[in-house]
């Protein structure tokens, strides 16, 4: 463009955050307008500088007092149109027709350098129309936990919401005990959930559903817009994204902990790091969440739950999918019937890489091998992450000693190794890319949180840095590789509320 000098003052006041909001243009019953609550004593904990730049936000500004005032909710920045989004959801199987952002406020959307639209949301900045009995605030612990784990998940290669910043509010929030309060700034491809569809389905609001399908398709699955049956194409696209997501996180020993339908993002990103945890000693029935008493969200149950959630999603689309309900149900059932196979493809892909199995091993064989191995790992109380980490070392020609030590009985390991060596020429590169050296170990997350409550954030910062490159071996982080001792082991995790 002639006459425009890069960086020159153009006379137009530039928005510090380049908002470009679309959700707020939807009908008013999609959300409720609300300003973040002001807090007495904001202190910055951390800004994710890389992510800020990706979003077109000056990281230095974000770290300044002016930027921090925005992150704390004390100033609504130019261009923001703060709203709480309405949604419903099945929580532990029971339907709640209205949930909504009770402790989250969407400031607005930005389009990042790659043209992707992203939400910027404050979590913990006060009550909204959907807060019910809650205070709309967040304690420091859950803020740090979400920061650490969502960024680690991203670095591990799993689609996830991101952490832009964490601040202390100078307030005390009342939980079981009084705790320091914080605000977390979350960035997401969108916050549209299965529960958002359920909200309008419960009200039999077909116009709203139609609009929501359109928004979701345009934002996340533009190819589906070309399909003959757009709602059906959306269902299939979300099924694929969710199957791949859950398979990927299972391959890391991750347990989401609250796979309620309001915590299933249509985008296919992991969302809501409440009582989530990474398995230490492998067991398929592993559960950490204190509130998951029926083990609904156990590690091995996640594919079933994923399918259950997708079925709830499909139900919301029935009125849009065909002329008659019978026809629509038939289409939905046919699509959902493909989920087990769809999941299997992703799951086999993940575990094939973890074991280094080459293409000459058939899918069936790879699946059976993975399944049998996992049974052995559970019986032998083997640390999931260390197992694959040491196996990668063995594949690279290292001694098997440290791998063998992970097992209760050395012979069992030796025997298993014999089988593994027999089945294939190993794909070492795949193993290196699939078997992290570092994961956000629960006891480390917990330790960082406890130290932060005591005023020391150094471990938190160290973990953020270390977990940015989880597949890279660094001697100075060798202590972070270790499994917890019996005393260190975290046995239960709690919701982020
Ligand atoms: P979650 O378990 O985090 O998915 O939250 C479930 C629902 O409870 C959502 O509608 C939240 O907005 C709401 N909620 C959770 N914690 C609070 C809180 N402290 N104040 C108000 N609403 C909350
Ligand atoms: Mg939630």
| Centroid of ligand 2 to alpha carbon of 497 (angstroms) | 10
In the beta sheet, which residues pair with residue 96? Answer: 89
pTM exceeding the 0.85 threshold for the entire prediction? yes
Q: Which residue of 83, 95, 99 sits with most ligand 1 atoms within 8 Å of its CB, as the best mutation to test the pocket?
A: 99
Are 263 and 363 in contact by the 8 Å Cβ rule? The answer is no
| Centroid of ligand 2 to alpha carbon of 23 (angstroms) | 18
For residue 135, the ligand 1 atom closest to its alpha carbon is 20
Give the whole-angstrom CA distance, residue 202 versus residue 98: 9
Domain boundaries of the chain, sorted by first residue: 23-194
Confidence of residue 229 (pLDDT cuts 50, 70, 90): very high
Are 274 and 290 in contact by the 8 Å Cβ rule? The answer is no
For residue 102, the ligand 1 atom closest to its alpha carbon is 12
pLDDT (mean) for 452-457 = 98
CA-proximal residue: ligand 1, atom 10 (nearest): 99
Which pLDDT score is estimated for 7?
Answer: 45
Which pLDDT score is estimated for 239?
Answer: 98
pLDDT tens profile 468-492: 999 999 999 999 999 999 999 998 8
Listing DSSP states for 89-145 in one string gives: EEETTEEES----SSEEEEEEEE-TTS-EEEEEEESB---TT-TTS-SBEEHHHHHH
What count of other Cβ atoms lies within 10 Å of the Cβ of residue 10? 9
Residue 262 designated active-site: yes
Residues, Cβ < 5 Å to ion ligand 2: 263, 272
DSSP 269: -
For residue 263, the ligand 1 atom closest to its alpha carbon is 4
Residues in contact with ligand 1 by the CB-under-6-Å rule are 99-103, 130-131, 134-137, 258, 262-263, 272, 274, 495-497
For residue 128, the ligand 1 atom closest to its alpha carbon is 21
CA-proximal residue: ligand 1, atom 11 (nearest): 102
Q: Could you say which of 101, 119, 135, 262 is catalytic?
A: 262
pLDDT tens profile 6-54: 444 444 457 999 999 999 999 999 999 999 999 999 999 999 999 999 9
Q: Which backbone phi and psi does 190 adopt, to 5 degrees?
A: -175, 170
What would the two tokens of residue 73 be? 């909710």
Are 446 and 276 in contact by the 8 Å Cβ rule? The answer is no
pLDDT surpassing 60 at residue 460: yes
Give the whole-angstrom CA distance, residue 317 versus residue 213: 9
DSSP 292: -
Cβ within 8 Å of residue 313, ≥6 positions away: 194, 197, 235, 238, 261, 264
Are 137 and 103 in contact by the 8 Å Cβ rule? The answer is yes
Give the whole-angstrom CA distance, residue 45 versus residue 22: 30
């Amino acid at each position: 463009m002639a006459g425009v000098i890069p960086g020159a003052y153009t006379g137009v006041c530039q928005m510090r955050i380049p908002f470009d909001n679309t959700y707020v243009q939807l009908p008013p019953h999609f959300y409720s307008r609300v300003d973040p609550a002001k807090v007495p004593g904001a202190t910055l904990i951390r800004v994710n500088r890389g992510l800020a730049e990706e979003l077109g936000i000056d990281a230095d500004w974000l770290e300044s007092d002016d930027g921090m005032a925005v992150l704390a909710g004390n100033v609504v920045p130019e261009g923001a149109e703060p709203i709480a989004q309405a949604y419903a959801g099945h929580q532990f199987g029971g339907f709640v027709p209205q949930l909504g952002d009770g402790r989250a406020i969407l400031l607005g959307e930005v389009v990042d350098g790659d043209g992707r639209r992203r939400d910027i949301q404050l979590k913990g900045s006060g009550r909204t129309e959907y807060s019910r009995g809650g205070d709309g605030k967040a304690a420091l612990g859950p803020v740090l936990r979400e920061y650490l784990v969502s960024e680690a998940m991203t670095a591990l290669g799993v689609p996830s919401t991101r952490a832009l910043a964490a601040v202390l509010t100078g307030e005390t929030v009342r939980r079981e005990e009084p705790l320091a309060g914080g605000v977390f700034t979350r960035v997401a491809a969108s916050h549209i959930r299965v529960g958002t569809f359920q909200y309008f389905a419960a009200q039999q609001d077909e116009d709203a559903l139609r609009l929501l399908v359109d928004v979701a398709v345009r934002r996340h699955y533009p190819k589906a817009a070309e399909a003959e049956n757009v709602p059906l194409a959306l269902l299939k696209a979300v099924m694929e994204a969710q199957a791949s997501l859950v398979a990927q996180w299972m391959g890391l020993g991750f347990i989401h902990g609250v796979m309620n339908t309001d915590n299933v993002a249509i985008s296919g990103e992991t969302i809501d790091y409440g009582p989530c945890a990474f398995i230490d000693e492998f067991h398929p029935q592993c559960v950490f969440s204190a509130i998951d008493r029926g083990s609904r969200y156990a590690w091995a149950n996640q594919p079933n739950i994923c399918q259950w959630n997708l079925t709830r999603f499909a139900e919301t689309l029935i009125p849009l999918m065909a002329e008659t309900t019978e026809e629509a149900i038939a289409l939905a059932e046919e699509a959902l019937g493909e989920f087990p196979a769809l999941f299997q493809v992703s799951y086999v892909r993940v575990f094939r890489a973890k074991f280094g199995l080459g293409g000459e091993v058939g899918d069936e064989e790879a699946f059976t091998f993975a399944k049998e191995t996992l049974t052995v790992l559970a019986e032998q109380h083997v640390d999931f992450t260390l197992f694959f980490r040491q196996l990668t070392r063995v594949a690279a020609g290292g001694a098997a000693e440290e791998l063998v030590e992970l097992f209760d009985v050395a012979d069992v390991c030796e025997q298993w190794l014999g089988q593994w060596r027999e089945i294939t020429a190993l794909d070492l590169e795949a193993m290196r890319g699939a078997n992290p050296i570092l994961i956000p170990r629960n006891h480390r997350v917990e330790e960082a949180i406890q130290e932060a409550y005591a005023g020391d954030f150094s471990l938190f910062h160290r973990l953020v840095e270390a977990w940015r490159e989880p597949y890279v071996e660094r001697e100075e982080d060798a202590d972070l590789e270790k499994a917890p001792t019996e005393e260190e082991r975290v046995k239960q995790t709690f919701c982020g509320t």
